[in-house]
C-alpha cells in the first residue's frame, strides 16, 4: 500500500470509546491536536486505585488544546448508555463524523481461570462490550453520518489470523510469562467484530461510510505496565500508544478510504510500510 494524502479533521466530530486511558486516550489527544471535536466515553469517572486515568482527566487535557470536548460516562453493556452517548454528541456538536470502537472488556478474574470455569455471564459480557456495543453504535451513527455526507468507523481488533496475511491461522499462545491468554470469549468476540466490519462494509460504502479494522498489537498501555509488574508479561516487543493512535487518525483522515474499507490492518506494520510519521 502507498500512503495517501490526509484530509483536514478540523471541525470534525469523533466519538471514542474507552478513552479514559490507553490507546483511546492517546487517539483522543491526537484528534484534538488536529482540531477535531472529541467525545470520549468510558466507565471510569472516579479515580480507581487499581487503574490509572479517568474521563475527567482526559477531558481536561483535551480542553487544554482549545478544541470542543465532551465526556460521557458510558457502560457499553447498556443500550441506554450507548443511545445517550450518541444523543449527547449530536446535542453538543450537531452530528458524528468518526466513530472509534476502541473499548474492550480486558479486565476481570476470567483472565485467570480455565475455559471450563468461564461462566455464561462472563462469556456474554465479552460479546456485549466487544461486539454488541460497536454494532449498536454503528447503527445509531449510520443515519447521522449519511446526512452529513459520509463518515468513518474504526474498529479496534486483536491478533486475528487475517491481519497477519498468513495462509493459515498462527498457533494460539496460551500464556506470556504468568499472564494467561486462554480467555476464549475475548478472542472469539474480537474475531466476530472483525467479521462484522467486513460484512457491513459494502452496505456502508453505498452511503459513503467506510469501516476499517485495526489490530493495535501489544501496546505499552498503563494496563500492560501493570501486567508486566504483577504477572510477568513480556513487553519487549510492545509498541508505544502513539503507533496505533496514529493509524486510527490516518484511517480517519485518508483521502480514499474505499481502498481500506472492510479490511483488517496491523498498526505497527502499516505505519512502517507506508512510512507514516508519528507526529
DSSP 139-179: HHHHHHHHHTT-EEEEEE--S-GGGGT-SSPPPPP-EETTE
Contact in structure between 92 and 150 (CB atoms under 8 Å): no
In this predicted structure, what is the pLDDT of residue 241?
Answer: 85
Q: How far is CA 228 from CA 17, 137, 172, 176, 180, in A?
A: 24, 33, 20, 10, 12
- Tell the residue number behind the cell numbers 472529541, with chain if given: 38
In this predicted structure, what is the pLDDT of residue 37?
Answer: 98
Q: Which of 125, 186, 250, 260 is catalytic?
A: 186
Q: Can you give the residue ranges of every domain in the chain?
A: 13-272
- pLDDT-derived band at 262 (thresholds 50, 70, 90) equals very high
- Per 3-state DSSP, the chain is made up of helix, strand and coil in percentages (nearest 5) of 45, 15, 35
- pLDDT-derived band at 192 (thresholds 50, 70, 90) equals very high
Residues sharing a CB contact under 8 Å with residue 109, sequence separation 6 or more, in sequence order: none
93-103 pLDDT tens trace: 999 999 999 98
In this predicted structure, what is the pLDDT of residue 114?
Answer: 75
- Tell the residue number behind the cell numbers 458510558, with chain if given: 74
Q: Looking at residues 56-82, what average pLDDT do you find?
A: 95
- Radius of gyration of the chain, Cα coordinates, nearest whole angstrom: 18
Can 250 be counted among the known catalytic residues?
A: no
- The more confident residue out of 156 and 52 is 156
**Distance between CA 31 and CA 38 in Å, rounded?**
7
pLDDT at 79 over 90: yes
- Output the average pLDDT for the chain: 88
119-160 pLDDT tens trace: 999 899 999 999 999 999 999 999 999 999 999 999 999 876
User: Which CATH number is 13-272's, of 3.40.50.720, 2.130.10.10, 3.40.50.300, 3.40.50.880?
Assistant: 3.40.50.720
Q: Looking at residues 219-241, what average pLDDT do you find?
A: 70
Amino acid at each position: 500500500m502507498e500512503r495517501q494524502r490526509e484530509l483536514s479533521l478540523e471541525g470534525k466530530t469523533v466519538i471514542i470509546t474507552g478513552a479514559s486511558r490507553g490507546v483511546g486516550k492517546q487517539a483522543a489527544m491526537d484528534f484534538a491536536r488536529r482540531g477535531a471535536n472529541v467525545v470520549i466515553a468510558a466507565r471510569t469517572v472516579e479515580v480507581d486505585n487499581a487503574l490509572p486515568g479517568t474521563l475527567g482527566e482526559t477531558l481536561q487535557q483535551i480542553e487544554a488544546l482549545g478544541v470542543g470536548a465532551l465526556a460521557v460516562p458510558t457502560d457499553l453493556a447498556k443500550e441506554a448508555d450507548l443511545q445517550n452517548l450518541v444523543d449527547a454528541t449530536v446535542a453538543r456538536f450537531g452530528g458524528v463524523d468518526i466513530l472509534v470502537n476502541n473499548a474492550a472488556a480486558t479486565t476481570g478474574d476470567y483472565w485467570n481461570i480455565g475455559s471450563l470455569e468461564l461462566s455464561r455471564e462472563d462469556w456474554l459480557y465479552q460479546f456485549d462490550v466487544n461486539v454488541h456495543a460497536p454494532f449498536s453504535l454503528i447503527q445509531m451513527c449510520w443515519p447521522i453520518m449519511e446526512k452529513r455526507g459520509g463518515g468513518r468507523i474504526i474498529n479496534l481488533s486483536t491478533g486475528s489470523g487475517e491481519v497477519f496475511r498468513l495462509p493459515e491461522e498462527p498457533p494460539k499462545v496460551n500464556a506470556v510469562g504468568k499472564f494467561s491468554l486462554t480467555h476464549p470469549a475475548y478472542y472469539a468476540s474480537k474475531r466476530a467484530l472483525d467479521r462484522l466490519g467486513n460484512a457491513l462494509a459494502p452496505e456502508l460504502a453505498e452511503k459513503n461510510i467506510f469501516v476499517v479494522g485495526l489490530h493495535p498489537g501489544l501496546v505499552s498501555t498503563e494496563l500492560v505496565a501493570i501486567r508486566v509488574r504483577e504477572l510477568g508479561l513480556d513487553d519487549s516487543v510492545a509498541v508505544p500508544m502513539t503507533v496505533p493512535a496514529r493509524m486510527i487518525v490516518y484511517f480517519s483522515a485518508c483521502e480514499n478510504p474505499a481502498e481500506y474499507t472492510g479490511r483488517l490492518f496491523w498498526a505497527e506494520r502499516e505505519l512502517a510500510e507506508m512510512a507514516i510519521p508519528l507526529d
